[in-house]
Structure 1
Amino acid sequence: MAIGTVDTSSLTQAGLNLIQQALSIYDSDLRLAVSNARFQEMFDLPKALVTPGAAFEDTIRFLVDRGEYGAVEDVEEAVKIRVEQARAFEPHYMERIRANGQVISVEGNPLPTGGWVTVYTDITAIKAQEKLLRARSEELSDQVLTHAERLSQTNRELAATITALEETKRQLTETEARTRMTTQMMPAHIAHVDRDGRYTFSNRRLSLVLPDRPTDVLGLHISEALGQNAYSHIAPYLARALEGDASVFEFTHEDSSRRIRVAFTPDSREGPINGVYILSMDITEETQARAALTQTHKRELAAQLTSGLAHDFANLLTIILGMQSRLSRMDLPEEAQNLVGATQSAARRGGALLDRLAEMSGHREARPVATDIAALLEEIELLAQPNMPENVTLKIGHEELSSPLLIDPGFLQDSLLNLLLNARDAIGDAQGAITLNARAIRDTWLEISVTDSGPGFSEKALKHALDPFFTTKGVEGSGLGLSMVYDMTKSAGGHVMLANKSGARVTLRLPLRWAATDPTPGLVLLVEDSPDIRTSVREMLVEIGHSVIEAATAEEGEALAVMPGIDLILSDISLAGGRSGVEMLEALRSRDVKTPAYLMTSLPMADPVRRSAADRFPLIGKPFTARELGGFLSAEDAA
C-alpha cells in the first residue's frame, strides 16, 4: 500500500502507543478525544473510559471509588472539585503517590481550541533512587539533599513552562501571519503611522487606491507616500486624529480623478495617542452608481409630479384636436382655416411635449399610421440635405413602395436622420457618398438601409455599437444615437443589422403592414366618462368612417356591448362609477364576447395601471389625431 493511502489517524494512534508515558487529551466539553494504551494500563481503566467520547467526570468518579486518591468522605464533592479544576484549563505540574505506592508526575497544558493534554510519567524509580541516596549518603547534608530535590522538581516545572511558552509563540506567529495575509488580500490600503507621520505598518496596497504611488512605504512620511495633492486633503483630518478625534471622509484625487474614502482611528491602546490607523479605499464606481441612482430618483420624482398634470393635459389636447378636426371640415374662410391649422399644430406640439415628459420614465410608444413612404423619404431628404457638406453626396430612393404603410413616421424619421448624420461624420473631410434605400421584402419586412463610403465599422463597433453610451467620437459623442435607433426599431417589432459593405451599412427591418386605403366602416361602442372627450373621439371615429354608440360608465358599456352589430369596443381606462375600462373588458371576455376591444388613456407610460392594461389589451395614449386613431385601429386589426 502506498504511504499516501495509509489512515493518518491509525498511524498517529500507533505512534502514541509506543510512548512509555501515559497520555490523554480531553476536549472543551471534558470528553476524551485521544489516549494511548499506556493510559489504560497505568490506571487499569475499563475500555469504556478509554473510548473517545468518555466523560472526564466518569473517569474521576471511577478512580475515587477505587481509592486512587486515598480515603474520601464525600465522593461527589471530590469529583466536583477535580472537574472544576479541569474546566479552568490552567497549565499545571504535580507529583503524587498512588494508592498502590506508585509515584507519578502529572503535567497538563491547555489547547488553543479548548480542552487540554495531560502526560503521566512513572517516577517511582527516580524517587526510590533519591530515597536511597539520602539513606546512604552521610556526606551530604540534609539541606543540600533537599535543595537538590527542589531543584529537580523546579527543572521539571520549568520544562513544562517552556513547552507552554513555545506553543503560545507558535500560535501567535500563525495568528500574525493570517492577519497579515488577510490585510494584503483586501482591496483597500490598511496602514499605521506614528505621531511623526511615518509608516510603521502597511499592507502594500497604496498603489491600488492611488495609482503611481509607491508600494513599500514603511519608514516614509505620509506626505511623501501620498504626494502633495492627496496629502493636502487628508492633513487636517490626520491632525485631528492625532488629537484623539476619529473621522471618516471622502475626497477626489485630482491626479487620477478617483474618489477616495478614508477612515482615521487614533491609536490609544496604552493611554496617550501613539499614532493613527488608516483605512482607505477607491469608491469611484460606488460614487458614480450613487450619482446615477440620485438622478434616477430625480427623474422618478419629476415623473410623479407631472403625471397628474400630464393626464389632464392629454385629455384637454384630445378635446382640442377633436374640435379643430370638426372645424377643419366646415366651410370656413381661408383665414379661419389657417387659424384651425395653427391650433392643430400647437396641439400636436403639446402632444410632443407630453411624449418628452413620458421619456423621463420610459420610451414613447409607437403610433403607426398610414404613411406614404415616398413622401416621408422626400421630407427626410429636405431635412438632411442642408446638414451635408459639399464633399458628401446624398442619394435617397425606394423600390415599389407606392402604397401607404402602417408605420410610426416620427419614429422612422428620427431614426433615419440619426443614421444619415452618423454616416456624414464617418466620411469626415474626404469625398464620399451616402445612400438610403427602402424596399419591401417578401411582403414581410420593410427594409431600409443606409450605406456610407467611410472607413466602416471596427470589430469593436460591430459588437458594441448598439450598446448605450458606446461611441467612437470621443467626448463629442453621447453614445445614444444608434442605441436610440435600436430601441425604437425593437419597440416597433423590427431589428437592426450592422455590416461593412464598401463602408458602413446599417439596415433597419420593420414589420411590413399595408395600410387599408378604404377602411371598412363599422359600429363602434365608445365608452368614455368625459362628455367633451367623448364628443371629440366620436367625431374622429366618424371622420375615419365608423358609426358610434356611446356609454359613460363600465356598467352601461357592458350592457351595450352584447347588442348585435357591435364591430369593436373603444374604452378609456379610467371611468366614473368605480369600475375601470379594463375590468369591463375582462368581464366581457369572461362572458365569451368576441368583439375586438381597445383601450385609450391619458395616464403616463410609467403608470403601473397603464402598463398592466397594455399587457392585456391594445392601447393608444392620448392625445391622438383621427389619423393616428385610424392607424392604431387598422394596425391592431391587421395584427
Structure 2
Amino acid sequence: MQADPHAMMQAGLNLIAQAMSIYDDDLQLVTCNRPFREMFDLPPELARPGAPFEATIRYLVQRGEYGPVDDEDVAVRRRVEQALAFQPHYMERSRANGRTISVEGAPLPQGGWVTVYTDITHIKQHEGLLRARSEELSEQLLTRAEELAATNRKLQATNAALSEAKRELTEMEARIRLTTEMMPAHIAHVGADRVYTYSNRRLNAIMPGRPSNILGLHMADVLGTQAYQAVLPYVEIAQEGRASSFEFTDEASSRRIRTATTPDGDGGVYILSQDVTEETQTRNALQQTRRRELAAQMTSGMAHDFSNLLTIILGSQSRLLRMELSDEAQPLVSATLSAAKRGGRLLDRIAAMTTGRDYTPTPCDPAALLRDLKTLATSALPDGVRFSLEDRLGPGRLMLDSGQVQDSLLNLILNARDACAGAGRITLTAARLKETWLEFTVTDTGPGFSPEALKRGLDPFYTTKGGEGSGLGLAMVYDMAKLAGGRVRLENTATGARVTLRLPLREAPRPAEPGLALLVEDSPDLRDAIRDMLRAQGHSVIEAASTEEALTLATQVPGVTLILSDITLEGAATGLDLLDRLPANAPPCYLMTSLRPDHPLHRAAKSRAPVLRKPFTGADLGQFLATGQQP
C-alpha cells in the first residue's frame, strides 16, 4: 500500500523539538506540529488545518499568554493587524507560566508565513546563573554578553530570510536569462564607456564570427571596425537620451542587421539586434516585382502602337521589294527591313524584361547546372577563347530557378567573349559566401569596363557594342538578381573585367520520407482532405490551424519530419511568419496556397520555400514532397 505523503510529512514535523505553525494569506492554519499544540495547550479545533488565526490569538489572550490586558478585543485586533502586515521578525517573550520562548517568523514564497517557537528557559537560566556567579565580571560586560547572544539569534533569523530571498532572486534571474537566450535576437547593455555589462549570448547567432561571451569587452573589440562605425552614431544618440532604430550591413558576415537602441538614463544603452537578411532579400524581390509591373504598364501601350507601326513598315518595305527598283533603292529597302525586324526583336526583349516570368526557385543540383552551362558556353566560344569553371559549392541541392540562372550566366559569358575579341580567357567561379550568398563570378582578360560602363552598365539600353547590341543583356541579369533578392556588381581587375552575381543561398529541403507530418491549415474541411492524402503516403499527422499552434507543436513534439502549411492561416500571422520563426533545426517546411500567382504573398513565398498551388490531388502532393516542385 502506498504511504500517505501528508501523513509522512506530519510525522516528521512532530519529531521536531521546536513548536512550528504555518498560516496562509487568509490567516488560516495550514499545518502545525504536536509541540505547538502542547506548548500552548491548544484545544483540538485550533490545531486543525483551517483554524482561524484570530480564534487562536483570542484563546491565548484569555489564557493570559500575553499577561494582563485591559481590553481583550483591542489586544486581539492589534495582533491580527500585525499578522496581516507581516514582516520577518525575531523576538524573545516571557510567558505567564514563567517559561521563556523565542519567536522567529519568516515569509513563504507562495504567501503566508511560518513561525518557529523555541523554549529557551534553560538558556536564560544559565545566563542568570552566570551573572550571579561572576561577580568579578562587570555589570557592563554581562549586559553586553546577553545582548550579543540575543543579537546572534536575531542575525541567524535574518540570514535565513536573506538566504531564501537570494534563492528566489537566483531562480528569477535564471528564468529571465533562459527566456532572453531563446529569443531570435541579441539583447545587450553597454555602459557609458561602451563596455558590455549584459548580453543574452546570442550575438554569434546574429552576427557569425563574433564571440558569445562578451561581458567586460568594448564594443569596438567585439564588433570590429566596420560594424562598430556603423552603430556608433546611433549609440551616441542613445547616450544623449534619444532612442533610435536603424539597419546596416555587417560586411564580416554579409548579414543585414536591424538594431534598436534605448537609453538607460545613466549614460548607458540597451541594444536589440536582429538578423533581417532574408527579410531584406524578400523585400528587394518584391520591390523589383513592383517596378516590373509599373514598367509593364508604362510600356505596354507604347509597345502596342510601336508594334503596329513596325508591322506597317515591314509590310510597305516588302511591297517595295516586289517592285522594280533602282540598284540604289534596293539596299535601302533591305536596310529598312533589317532595322524594322531588329526593332521587333527589341520589343520582344523589352516584353521579356517587363512582363517575363517570375524568379521561381526549385530544388536544383548546382553541379549539374554548371556542367550543362559549360557545355553550352564552350560550343559558343571561338577557338582562341579558353573557358574554365571552378565549382567550389560542394555537394548538396540548392533552391534556384535553374533556367533563369543558367540564362543569366550564359549572357555574362557571351559578353565576356565579345570583350576578349577572339583571344583570351574566361573563368566562371561558383562559391558559397559566409553561408548567406551564392556567388557566381565571371572574369575575362579583355580591356575591362570603361568608367562610364561601370556606372551605367546595368541600365536598360546602355551598350558599348554600337548597333550590334541592344543594351538589355546586363539589364536582364540585373532584373533576375533583384527578383531573387540578390545583387550584381561590375568591376575591373588587373587583367580585365569581373561581374559578380550574388543570389540568396537557400538549401533545398530534403525529400520527405514517411514520418510525422505537421499539417497547418485553418479550414477543417481542407485539413480532413489533406490529412487523408498524407496518411495514404505513409505519414502520421498532427494538425494546427494557426502559426502559434504550429510553432508550439514543431518545437515541443519530438519526431516531426516535415511541415506542410498554408500561406494564409487563422489569425494575423501567415505561413511566411511561420518560416521566419521556426528554429534552425526545424524539419523542412513546404507551403501551399490558393492565392493567385501574382499575389504578393505568393510571390514572396516562392523565393523562400517550395509552394504547391491548390487544388491538388494526392499524386500531386506526393510528387511535390518528393521533388519540391509544382507538378
Q: If the TM-score is normalised by the length of the shorter chain, which range does it land in?
A: 0.3 to 0.5
Q: TM-score, normalised by structure 2?
A: 0.46
Return the TM-score normalized by structure 1.
Answer: 0.46
Structure number with greater Rg is: 1
